[in-house]
Structure 1
Amino acid sequence: MRGLYIGIDVGGTNLKAGAVDAAGRLLAVERRPLAFRDPEAFAGDLADLAEAALSAAGAGPEDALGVGIGLPGAVSGGEVLYTTNIPMEHVPLADLFRRRLDLPVLLGNDADCAAAGEFLRGAGRGFRDFVVLTLGTGLGGGIILDGRLRGGETSSEAGHLVTHVGGLPCPCGRRGCWEQYASATALIRQTRAAMAEHPESLLCRLAAERGTVDGRTPFQAAEAGDETALAVCRQYVEELAEGTASLINLLRPEAVAFGGGVAGAPEQLLLEPLRRRVGELCFSRHGGRTTRILRAELGNDAGIIGAALLGRVTST
């Protein structure tokens, strides 16, 4: 089964590797917990997982054309400049990987890989200028312009646009970054604040029943008509719209697709009001290209597929 690609998605707690064919079809996926010891051992773990994914697809290393690795942080060429959840800085990860498994290796930011996957196999098919925004622990962004990933193998940091000057502190060192207001983490914080002010809210009952508050909680309560939850959702959409409109005004993409757990919220509570508000804020309301607001299609597979096919959107 020659002509396969391997995509590896490095998450906060787990590693996933998939075997992908030349058409972008995901043939097999292997997962294991992330257990970082040192960069050399980490590269070996990734190589082992890549081989396991090939084996699950009925193939071997001789069938693979290359490997793409998506990481939560900044990369340049074959080097990890830094990662946000594991202690790596200026690590030649591609070289370390090839010591264990001698295949061509490309490194990418995880949000860029998700954008590549959606562009090639998901919501971005048929577009040339396309943005993916992932709503998770942080707020990631991947940008495709004229069919190529913006900056090649370097990453965009959409979540660190400042939407509130002098606002909440961000781990990046600035204040008021967009992800402090529009990530899933921010939504959970906003929900907890609303619960503290309104203990009678359905939000509190749902959290007590489930033993947790997550990005789905306010939307589930809002679907049931809870006014406190509806207010949380409206404010979240406003925060999301501000940064989205700024990106659209700058880049004028054909479409923006939202991924991550929060993006699965009911259409009438998230994407429909987001489309209306972005339309009010964008310069295109005066004429010209109108950017479509979409839901990403590939879910947790986007990063694997995009990493595997990263060369298609980074090559010149």
Structure 2
Amino acid sequence: MPSPARASGDDGGAAGPGALGAVEVLPGRVRAALLSGAGVVRERADAVFDPAAGAGAVDAALAEVAGLLAAGAPLGVGVAAAGVVDPGAGLVVEVNEAPALRGYPVARRLEALVGAPVRVEHRARVQVLGDRWFGPGRGRRSFASVSTGEVLGVGILYAGEVLAPPGGRSGAHMTVSASGRRCTCGRRGCWKTVATTRWLRERARALGLGGDVTLGALVAAPGEEAARLVGEYAENLVLGLATVQQLFACGLFVLHGEAREGGERFRALVEERLRADVLGGGEPVRVVVSEAAVDDVALLGAAGLVLSGR
């Protein structure tokens, strides 16, 4: 079996006593890391599998990265998984793009390989725990953590608990336009149809701004056309965020992913439009952009899942 891709943190040290194990399970890929109790990633491992294969392919990928985790003797392992999950049973219920993960007992498999307790949660929801323990949400009992870019989703901490009802999803498929475009789920007008990188590129192409642009490039581009598109993108993102705020009064929204490319200008646009769209009362809504590296967001959330369970 080939060795997994493996790297040490910048300081080169092992995680040491009190280490936290973190795993991200994606269609065709498994990422693992050992983190310190302060949320510093010390070592990483990476393995791939055929998402169209059987469960044995996932078993092999987990086995490749489990050595790193077992060697660190972590307090526990948190799993941030794509798709629909059953945290109580420790299962990945279904991932549309990866039949190999359907009904996969990831917690049981990892516990046998690592010898530590394992907890599982949806990757978009669990990232709020990364922000709670290691990021801008420290000290708060209610706030929202938002994935932006190719993937869209919201994790909500409410009164100190992650909102994670059985069968619940990340919000990408909430309807924001009854007569909107057809979504990959088959319904119309889902939030993800107007507030992801795919929409941004398609809209930029239609406006003659190029079909492979980034949010950062559009923010920096001269001319009113690019500025209007950035504003429209911010408004589309707020369509979902305003609903979340109205329902749960989060107060704070931590943006991850593509929003980071937009810098202060995009952050301010989102905050301005969100404040204009929600009813008054409670604390003023704030929007911040996380400084965490994109590749670390889910891993930090998984590590936070371990701490939250102790």
Normalising by structure 1, report the TM-score. Answer: 0.83
After superposition, give the CA deviation of every residue in 1:23-46 in whole Å (9 maximum; x if it has no partner). 333222223344443223313422
Q: Choose from 188, 196, 201 the match for 1:175.
A: 188
Structure of greater relative contact order (alpha carbons < 8 Å, 6+ residues apart): 1
Partner residue, 1:21: 36
1:43 matched to which residue of 2? 59
Match of 1:81 in 2: 93
**Preserved contact between residue 79 and residue 90 of structure 1 (Cα < 8 Å):** yes
* Helix, strand or coil at the partner of 1:116: helix
Measured in 2, the distance between the counterparts of 1:118 and 1:2 equals 22
Deviations 1:77-109 (Å, cap 9, x if unpaired)? 211111243112222222233343433211111
CA distance in 2, matches of 1:7, 1:236: 32
Aligned to 1:274: 270
- Do the aligned partners of 1:135 and 1:259 also contact (CA within 8 Å) in 2? yes
Report the alpha carbon displacement of residue 257 of structure 1 after superposing the two structures with TM.
0.8
* Matched AA of 1:24: G
Amino acid at match of 1:215: T
Provide the residue aligned with 1:162 in structure 2: 175
What CA deviation, in whole Å up to 9, does each residue of 1:264-309 have, x standing for no partner?
21221x111111111111112xx32222111123222121121123
Same amino acid, percent of matched pairs: 25
1:110 is matched with which residue?
Answer: 123
Q: TM-score, normalised by structure 2?
A: 0.85
Q: Which residue number corresponds to residue 190 of structure 1?
A: 203
Please list every run of 5 or more consecutive structure 2 residues that lacks an aligned counterpart in the other structure: 1-15
Judging changes above 3 Å, is the alpha-carbon distance between structure 1 residues 102 and 44 closer, same or farther for their aligned structure 2 residues?
farther
Cα distance 1:214–1:83, how it changes in 2: closer, same or farther (>3 A)?
farther
Give yes or no for the alignment of 1:64 onto 2:74.
Answer: yes
For 2:221 and 2:300, the matched residues in 1 are separated by 36
In structure 2, C-alpha distance between the alignment counterparts of 1:85 and 1:250, rounded to whole Å: 31
Which residues in structure 2 correspond to 1:95-134 (within 5 Å)? 95-134=108-147
**Partner residue of 2:292?**
298
Structure 1 residue 113 displacement after superposition = 2.4
Which stretches in structure 1 are left out of the alignment for 5+ residues? 55-59, 196-202, 208-212
Counterparts of 1:142 and 1:46 in 2: how far apart (Å)? 25
Kept after mapping to 2: 8 A contact 1:182/1:236: yes
Query: 1:215: which partner in 2?
Result: 214
Number of aligned positions between the proteins: 290
Q: Secondary structure of the residue that 1:90 maps to in structure 2?
A: coil
1:43-63 CA-to-partner distances (Å, cap 9, x unmatched) read 342242132356xxxxx15x2
Whole-angstrom CA distance in 2 between matches of 1:103 and 1:72: 22
Distance 1:177 1:166, change over 3 A: same
The answer as to whether partners of 2:271 and 2:285 remain within 8 angstroms in 1 is no
Are the equivalent residues in 2 in contact too, given 1:149–1:313 (CA < 8 A)? Answer: no
Show the counterpart of 1:224. 221
Give the aligned CA root-mean-square deviation in angstroms.
Answer: 2.3
Greater helix share, 1 or 2? 1
